[in-house]
Structure 1
Amino acid sequence: MSDFEPKLILKGVFNHLRRDGFNLGMGEYMAAVEAVEGGWGSNKNELLDALCLLWCNSLAEQSRLRILWDTVIASSKQKNREEQPEEIKTSPPTKSDYSEKSPTREEVKTQPVSTAKTTQEIAAQPVKPPFIPADIEEDREFENYWLLSRRQMVYAWRYLRRLVADGQQDVLDVNQTVEKAAKQGFFLQPVYRRREKNHAHLLLLIDQEGSMTPFHRFTRDLVDTVKYESDIERVDVAYFHNTPAESVYKDSHLTTPIALNEILARCDRDSKVLVISDAGAARGYRRMGRVRAITEVLFDIKEYTNLIAWLNPMPKERWDSSSAQIISHLVPMFPMNKEGLAQAISVVQG
């Protein structure tokens, strides 16, 4: 086992920072665990950069974390060592030990046979002590925190619709029934109208891997809820890495490419498009090449529909000095929380 184990020290660092005043919840902790499992944090400096990215909301917090880092990681390592029981190493007996203790055949013959029962002295054998787990201090400030809960997603999707009265004619129209009876002077039969159906079409373009790795659980929930827990008639999902190019992907593992034009050809003027990406805000990058590429894709989308919005999983204050700040002037961009999703749906609803 290497000297640096990011998962072992992550909880200690997390608790220390909370006691020091950092506004952290269970969502940030789980995001850091998933980032480590995704390959981040292979050494001390890389883990520090990842935690600055995930747990700090300002440059001041990043500076505080870097100042506290060596002390925090040292205390976390010491605590983990104390929690691990020491193993007592035992060496197997050698051949010479057996030869010294075992009597020869002649000695066995000369010894008198005694009818009394002899007690065998059993040498003390080295025994591994039982593992007693160390008491874990409960942090009652832990709470379930998510950018968006599944329940909030399901509720928000109810407002994304395009209702057309083309269903079965089995809905009682009370107003028309009363009006008809008043004109005739008597009630003959009720008036029915057609049932409304939601013919909305939604296209999700989701940034995958890289800086979006900590947010995979939220994007998975978005896809699952809109596909299986909403009444939206048509849902198309495409994935990309950093920037939607000429080709996007059908699957979240980015293994099955499909032309972007083929996806857009399914859209019409009533189609609604949601883009989910940090747009460089996670790492604070401002790259004009990325901005130009995204601008071209946005123009391509607007040839089919103007109902487009952007969900950014990073908080709004992290957009400054990054590509996200520029892109937010090209397309309505909202943080990926309860209010942000509601505003994005309001925009694409038209």
Structure 2
Amino acid sequence: MFPLTPDDYETKQPKLPAFLWELFQKLRRRGFPLTPDDYETLRQSLQAGFGWTSQEALRDLCNSLWAKSRQEQEILTALFNQLAPKNEDWQLSSVQVEKDFDATHSSNKEQHQNVPEHQEHDEIVTESCSGLPPISLKDVQLSERRFIFVPQFPLTYREVAQTWRRLRRPVRVGPATELDVELTIARRCQQGVTASVVLKPRHRNVARLLLLVDRQGSMTPFHRFCEEVCTAIQLAGRLEETAIYYFHNVPAEGADEQVLEPLGKELFPVLDSILPEITPLKTGYLYEDSDLLSPIALEEVLQKHASDAFVVMMSDAGAVRKYYNVVRLLDTISFIKALRAYTLNYVWLNPLPKSYWKDNTAAQIARHVPMFPLNREGIQQAVNVLRGQQYIIEKPL
């Protein structure tokens, strides 16, 4: 998209410090959704006089314009500290930006050349305890964070936040502070004189979300990814309540396996013929912590957080192991039947793509539960289903 250079943005005033273009490019490579308009906005802000009083002021200006989350602010700050000149005079006025910046820069350069060598750089010497000569890092500029590691997940924090903000259940609650235009007009027409305006409460999103996350076992490689998604939903989803609980393999275990007897000794039985005989499973435990050390009764969680709420299950559903486990399928269906007594708004997010769901337990669960891959398209479809969009599953419960 960018055959652009910093010269494309230069105007008469102000002239941007050269390192800002490199900062802009590095942020784009790290997934920041920046466009030429964002760079132009920074130039206009500098032209208005903002960000010139100190290096910290310029850094804060970049954060306010280009970073939209705490994680992005940390990345931008670390890159800024790496790229910004260390000994540059930032005491510039908004009126003299154009005429004084180049002069100040050149003056600093002359002063820098006149500084004795022993004062120009800090010399770092590490002592060796093995008898080898010490390592001298003279004339080397070290930053506090030399490496900036940015997770490369299928979803970014921003994508998750923007998608889940669409999950809304607006209700007018609280004090009447918003003008009700229709009732105000109706009152004045009815009375025939100027009357007081009619106010109504503002809309408030009362949507509640219960996240049930599979941990350990085959989900171990996805722990960091699922944590990032859950954190983004919890902190930036703008829901009234987001509760997170954890389980291992299935949310509930111990379904009555006697219902499987009519299936005989089939190697890969489907449960369609015995679905009416499968009873809801409310016994068992979920966990309040990701290490699965603090159990809490499943029924207590459902009564407290699932009633008239949205529920999202996050698990590979056995797709990683690539085998079919009929007992796991039975336990899952029994749990879903218990969940349906509290809410009908539930979906399943699988960290593996659909191509991995074939010929295993995940493929069978997806026949009974709306299941979507944990990527951009998947979470958008999941939110649409939770919002009421029609979704056809092969064998509804």
Output the TM-score relative to the length of structure 1.
0.57
Question: Structure 1 counterpart of 2:300, which letter?
Answer: E
Distance 1:326 1:226 in 2: 28
| Aligned counterpart for 1:238 among listed residues 245, 256, 264 | 245
Q: What's the offset of the Cα at 1:145?
A: 4.0
* CA distance, structure 2, for counterparts of residue 199 and residue 348 of structure 1: 14
> Which amino acid counterpart does residue 213 of structure 1 have in structure 2?
T
Distance 1:151 1:210 in 2: 29
Could you say which structure has the larger radius of gyration?
A: 1
Which residue identity does 1:240 align to in structure 2?
A: F
Q: What are the equivalent positions in structure 2 for 1:1-350 lying under 5 Å apart? A: 145-245=152-252, 246-267=284-305, 270-350=308-388
List alignment gaps of at least 5 residues for structure 1. Answer: 1-25, 28-89, 91-125, 132-142
Q: Is the 8 A contact 2:213 2:313 kept in 1?
A: yes
Contact 1:147 1:338 in 2 (8 A): yes
- Give the secondary-structure state (helix, strand or coil) at the position aligned to 1:299: helix
Relative contact order (C-alpha < 8 Å, sep 6+): which is higher?
A: 1
Q: Following TM superposition, by how much is the alpha carbon of 1:184 offset from its aligned partner in structure 2, in angstroms?
A: 3.7
Aligned mates of 1:206, 1:268 — CA distance in 2: 14
Q: Any conservation in 1 of the 2:222–2:351 contact (CA below 8 Å)?
A: yes
1:238 deviates by 1.0
1:195, CA displacement in angstroms? 1.4
CA contact (8 A) 1:311 1:341 kept: yes
Provide the rounded CA distance (Å) in 2 between the counterparts of 1:172 and 1:261.
43
2-structure distance, mates of 1:164, 1:127 = 72
Structure 2 CA distance, aligned partners of 1:220 and 1:268?
A: 21
Give the distance between the partners of 1:317 and 1:187, measured in 2 at CA.
67
Cα offsets for 1:71-101 (capped at 9, x unmatched) = xxxxxxxxxxxxxxxxxxx9xxxxxxxxxxx
Distance 2:296 2:307 in 1: 22
CA 1:250–1:269: 2 relative to 1, 3 Å: closer
Q: Which runs of 4+ in 1 moved over 6 A?
A: 126-131
Residue 129 of structure 1: CA displacement?
Answer: 11
Task: With the length of structure 2 as denominator, give the TM-score of the two structures.
Answer: 0.51
Q: How many aligned positions are there?
A: 220
**Corresponding position of 1:7:** none
Provide the rounded CA distance (Å) in 2 between the counterparts of 1:241 and 1:206: 8
Deviation string for 1:309-335 (max 9, x for gaps)? 100010011100111000001110001
Deviations along 1:231-253, one digit per CA (max 9) or x if unpaired, are 21222211011111211110011
Q: Among all aligned residue pairs of Structure 1 and Structure 2, give the percentage whose two residues are the same amino acid.
A: 39
Q: Do 2:243 and 2:305's aligned partners in 1 also have CA atoms closer than 8 Å?
A: no
| 8 Å Cα contact 1:267/1:305 also seen in 2 | no
User: Following the alignment from structure 1 to structure 2, what is the Cα–Cα distance between the partners of residues 257 and 321?
Assistant: 32
| Unpaired stretches in structure 2, ≥5 consecutive residues | 1-29, 32-129, 137-149, 253-283, 389-397
AA in 2 matched with 1:196:
H
Q: Which amino acid aligns with 1:247?
A: Y
What CA RMSD, in Å, does the superposition of the two structures yield over aligned residues?
A: 2.8
